[in-house]
Amino acid sequence: MIITDTHTHLYSEQFDEDRVEVIERALAAGVTRFFIPAIDSTYTEAMYALEASYPNNMYLMTGVHPTHVNANYLEELNHVKDQLSSRKFVAIGEIGIDLYWDKSTLKLQQEMFRTQIQLAKQYGLPIVIHCRDAFDEVFEILEEEQGADLFGIFHCFTGSLEQAKKAISYNMKLGVGGVVTFKNGKIDQFLNQISLQHIVLETDAPYLSPVPFRGKRNESSYILNVLEKLSDIYAISIKELALITTENSKSIFKK
């Protein structure tokens, strides 16, 4: 059984003490495909080191996270462009709009989101979207940019059934992780109305641990708890779910 974690920050400082053990636990659980989203240039070397240690398991993205869009945004954007011109990546991500932490940078975030979408189109890559308290703003830009060359994953989807259908209409898969196990997560109430062909698995480790680990550091092996919950929701086996969601990830990342 091959399990794919489409979104895990294994280079995070939170894993500095036991990164190898965390990865080995995931591998032992059947998680053999790890897709690694970028945050900003300060993490690039750590991401490369992760890839060098596990070249058959780690797949890197490049991009600027919306909460890291600030006064040096042009410098960060140039870093992404330099990366893209020097080597291959599987996606541009995570990119998007986050109005939870700081609304004052909205215009900059919108500009960076548009520009990075256009870079993804230029390189024929998917995008991985971060959206927090910003569905309307994200959808507005997706509406402008929609087309056959726009596709990817709506990471950590936490919206309504209507918003899920809208995201899918823009060629986005829904990234489902620990939130689906939360009592107040809500998406578990309608996911069975969404075809499994639109779903990929993720952890967002070290964040958003599933029950029963909620509130603790998340890790990729905990994706099994997400699989168990989805197995209940869709009434199919964990093995079949792992197969379908891994195939979905391959259709997006071409890996």
242 sits in which H/E element: helix 238-253
| CA atoms of 63 and 45, how far apart (whole Å) | 14
- Is the whole-model pTM more than 0.95? yes
What pLDDT sits at residue 184? 86
Give me the architecture of the 3-253 domain, per CATH. Alpha-Beta Barrel (3.20)
What pLDDT sits at residue 185? 83
Helices (H), the chain: 19-28, 44-53, 73-86, 106-123, 135-145, 161-169, 223-234, 238-253
CA nearest to 6, candidates 49, 60, 68: 60
When computed from its CA atoms, the radius of gyration of the chain, rounded to whole angstroms, is 17
What pLDDT sits at residue 161? 97
What pLDDT sits at residue 174? 98
What pLDDT sits at residue 124? 98
What pLDDT sits at residue 33? 98
CB 40 within 8 A of CB 64: yes
* Backbone torsions φ then ψ of 32, nearest 5 degrees: -120, -5
Taken as a whole, the chain contains a residue count of 255
How do the domains of the chain map onto residue ranges?
Answer: 3-253
Print pLDDT tens along the chain (255 aa).
999 999 999 999 999 999 999 999 999 999 999 999 999 999 999 999 999 999 999 999 999 999 999 989 999 999 999 999 999 999 999 999 999 988 999 999 999 999 999 999 999 999 999 999 999 999 999 999 999 999 999 999 999 999 999 999 999 999 999 999 998 889 999 999 999 999 999 999 999 999 999 999 999 999 999 999 999 999 999 999 999 999 999 999 999
